[in-house]
Amino acid sequence: MSYESITEKQRQLAEFRPMPDALVRNLDEWFKVELTYTSNAIEGNTLSRRETALVVEKGLTVGGKTLTEHLEATNHAHALDFVKEQIEREPSEISEREILTIHATILRGIDDANSGQYRAVPVRISGSEVILPNPFKVPDLMEEFSTWLKSESGLHPVELAAEAHYRLVTIHPFVDGNGRTARLLMNMILMMQGYPPAIIRKRDRLAYIGALEQAQLGGSKEDYLKLIAKAVDRSLDIYLKACRGEDDIHPVAKGKLLKIGELAKLVGKNNSTIRHWTKEGLLEVAETTDSGYQLYAPEAVERAKRILELQKQRFTLAEIRRKQSKT
């Protein structure tokens, strides 16, 4: 597939560097929460985006959520910090040590016996027909993977990152935490090459898993590569809009709560429509001010856009509500 458009956007982004400190800080904070929320959600963590922000940014405890879910959020955020620290040292390559450290951080306090350790037992992916390598082969496979990663130079950076992710989850070197580790490795490769991290959205979970399995069973990688490329493309758009000072990205990039009018403007609808969707249970109010104003979390933007997409497909509000309850 062609990466010309993505390469051009990356070139445009490079022209804005160095970015203002405040802008970098806002984008870093937003991406940390977004990456943590989506990567954990793909694995079944039930913390919402807003709850993830409270845990990661404020260190708060969310009622009704397990200790493991809280640890998954804080650990992922710390693992991302480690990735950024490594990139700041301007490394020329990524070794097995970095991969093991990422994994150890992901499972810290959750499964200390297996954190940062290659598996010594057979594993299976629930609901998948993919047969994973024998555990005795894992050390050699990881050594081969590390050698490939250090020597590969012919692929576009986005394809290299996607391929590294694919190869790591196909080896499945750990008892748990393979997906989160692979996504962080992918984003480490992207950021080392001047690209923003790729966010695999929760709504794309089934397509992402299906595309991976299709490739792992001997089919085409095209769907998988396209999905990763689109994720990088979306992140480039977020960065470029923020650098250009375009209003529609500011509330989201800053992670602040949105007034009903701001949310309506971002999705191209009027206030009454947002109120109606809220009344019907399609959108959730994050907070209500002392004056009675309803405020929405940044994730309400994507949720509202999804409602619009489903309406265009002739789904009723009741049908949309049922779909939302299943995700």
Residues 137-157: tens digit of each pLDDT? 999 999 999 999 999 878 999
* Per-residue pLDDT, 26: 86
Domain end residue (candidates: 248, 282, 310): 248
Q: Which of 78, 165, 172, 250 is catalytic?
A: 172
Domain end residue (candidates: 201, 218, 248): 248
Q: Are residues 233 and 277 in the same domain?
A: no
pLDDT, the chain, mean = 91
- State yes or no: pLDDT of 90 exceeds 90: no
Local confidence band at 50 (pLDDT 50, 70, 90 cut-offs)? confident
**Which domain covers residue 204, as residue numbers?**
4-248
Q: Are residues 181 and 312 in the same domain?
A: no
Q: Are residues 95 and 134 in the same domain?
A: yes
- State yes or no: pLDDT of 326 exceeds 80: no
Q: Are residues 315 and 235 in the same domain?
A: no
| Backbone φ and ψ of 114, nearest 5° | -110, -5
- State yes or no: pLDDT of 198 exceeds 70: yes
Q: Are residues 278 and 149 in the same domain?
A: no
Q: What whole-number distance in Å separates Cα of residue 294 and Cα of residue 287?
A: 6
Percent of the chain at pLDDT exceeding 70 = 96
Local confidence band at 250 (pLDDT 50, 70, 90 cut-offs)? very low
Alpha carbons within 13 angstroms on the beta-carbon side of residue 60 total 11
Residue 70 known to be catalytic: no
* Per-residue pLDDT, 203: 86
Q: Are residues 59 and 164 in the same domain?
A: yes
Local confidence band at 258 (pLDDT 50, 70, 90 cut-offs)? confident
Local confidence band at 135 (pLDDT 50, 70, 90 cut-offs)? very high
| Mean pLDDT to the nearest integer, 32-39 | 95
Burial-class residue 111 by CB neighbours within 10 Å (0-12, 13-18, 19+): middle
Q: Are residues 19 and 164 in the same domain?
A: yes
Check if the beta carbon of residue 106 is closer than 8 Å to that of residue 115: yes
**CA dihedral sign of residues 139, 122, 37, 187:** positive
Q: Are residues 147 and 178 in the same domain?
A: yes
The number of folded domains in the chain is 2
Q: Are residues 290 and 191 in the same domain?
A: no
- CATH number, domain with residue 77: 1.10.3290.10
Domain end residue (candidates: 248, 269, 300): 248
pLDDT in tens, 292-320: 778 888 888 889 999 999 999 999 998 99
Q: Are residues 264 and 243 in the same domain?
A: no
